[in-house]
Amino acid sequence: MKLIYLITLLITVFCANIFAQNSTEYLDVKKYAIGIYGNTSINSHSPDFAKLIGTPNCCSGFESGTGIGLNIGMIFQYPITENLELDLRASVLDLGADLISTQQIPISNLDNSNIGDIAETEHLISTSISSFGVNAGLNYYPIQYLYIHGGGYLGYLITGHFEQEERLTLPSNRGVFKDTGTRKRNEIQGDIPELNSLSAFLNIGIGYSLLLNERGTFLLVPEIGFNIGLNNINSQPWKVNQITFGLALMFNSLSREYDNPINPVK
């Protein structure tokens, strides 16, 4: 989280100081823009529980998790001033991740005597979580084509599934759990208990519009963003943050009185 805040601060300070003196003509001729986008997300989970509610688990506690997701959606942009535009998006967010925790346990013989050796087990909760909702925000243009985005997302969790297991990782060549006779136990899957119906995020980011034709009616927009989770996945302490990297393909409608290309040929 500290890294996210630091990167965002550096981007904001850099743009404000270096580019503030530049005028923007791009939004003067932009009527509106519509398009689609796709982002790869790096999901960072911050749980604080030993087990899911009502689910058997011998874990001492889950504290973190990571995953890779794909966010997709539609965009509508509408200029408000020469430097500011409204940005509305209907989005599907992929929030899944693997929660992993390791712990050490003593090794016992068949007669239950402790031989003094230590085994290592890995607890895994693999989640599949997705949300559908709407993002409303503003894009500020310090210079033409470059914008800084800020907004909020409110959505509905449409899936919330988990698969859980505990497996013996060390020693790798011997040993089983007494209760199962295998190297795995507590294998359970199902819906995440007491799943929250709503998901909320603050989002910030930066993008740059690349003109695909001379007139500027078609744009390819690389974007980098951060989604900062505001509420928990379920009734337990469990938030999700995202770092996103992706592209938007936009149709840019220009004002009727504007007859010249945005990017004239010299």
CATH number of the structural domain spanning residue 68: 2.40.160.20
- Domain span at residue 56? 2-98+128-159+197-254
pLDDT for 10 beyond 50: no
Range among 9-23, 69-83, 177-191 with highest mean pLDDT value: 69-83
Whether a cis peptide bond, with omega within 30° of 0, leads into 171 is yes
- Asked whether residue 85 is domain-assigned, the answer is yes
Q: Within its chain, how far is the Cα of 186 from the centroid? A: 29
- 65-87 per-position pLDDT tens digit: 999 999 999 999 999 998 999 99
List of residues 6+ apart from 35 with CB closer than 8 A = 74, 75, 219, 221, 248, 249, 250, 251
Q: Give me the mean pLDDT over the 142-154 stretch.
A: 95
- Asked whether residue 51 is domain-assigned, the answer is yes
Q: Sign (positive/negative) of CA torsion 59, 64, 66, 71?
A: positive
List of residues 6+ apart from 70 with CB closer than 8 A = 38, 39, 40, 41, 94
Domain tally for the chain?
A: 1
pLDDT for 23 beyond 50: no
pLDDT for 24 beyond 50: no
**Count of CB atoms situated within 10 Å of the CB of 68:** 11
SS3 helix, strand, coil % of the chain, rounded to 5?
Answer: 10, 60, 30
- Asked whether residue 219 is domain-assigned, the answer is yes
- Asked whether residue 33 is domain-assigned, the answer is yes
Average pLDDT, rounded, for the chain: 86
- Asked whether residue 119 is domain-assigned, the answer is no
- 3-state SS, residue 110: coil
pLDDT band at 27 (very low <50, low <70, confident <90, very high): confident
List of residues 6+ apart from 113 with CB closer than 8 A = none
- Asked whether residue 183 is domain-assigned, the answer is no
pLDDT for 203 beyond 80: yes
- Asked whether residue 114 is domain-assigned, the answer is no
Spatial distance between the Cα atoms of 99 and 89, rounded to a whole number of angstroms: 29
- 3-state SS, residue 179: coil
pTM more than 0.75: yes
pLDDT band at 181 (very low <50, low <70, confident <90, very high): confident
- 239-260 per-position pLDDT tens digit: 999 999 999 999 998 775 555 5
- Asked whether residue 111 is domain-assigned, the answer is no
Q: Give me the mean pLDDT over the 152-161 stretch.
A: 97
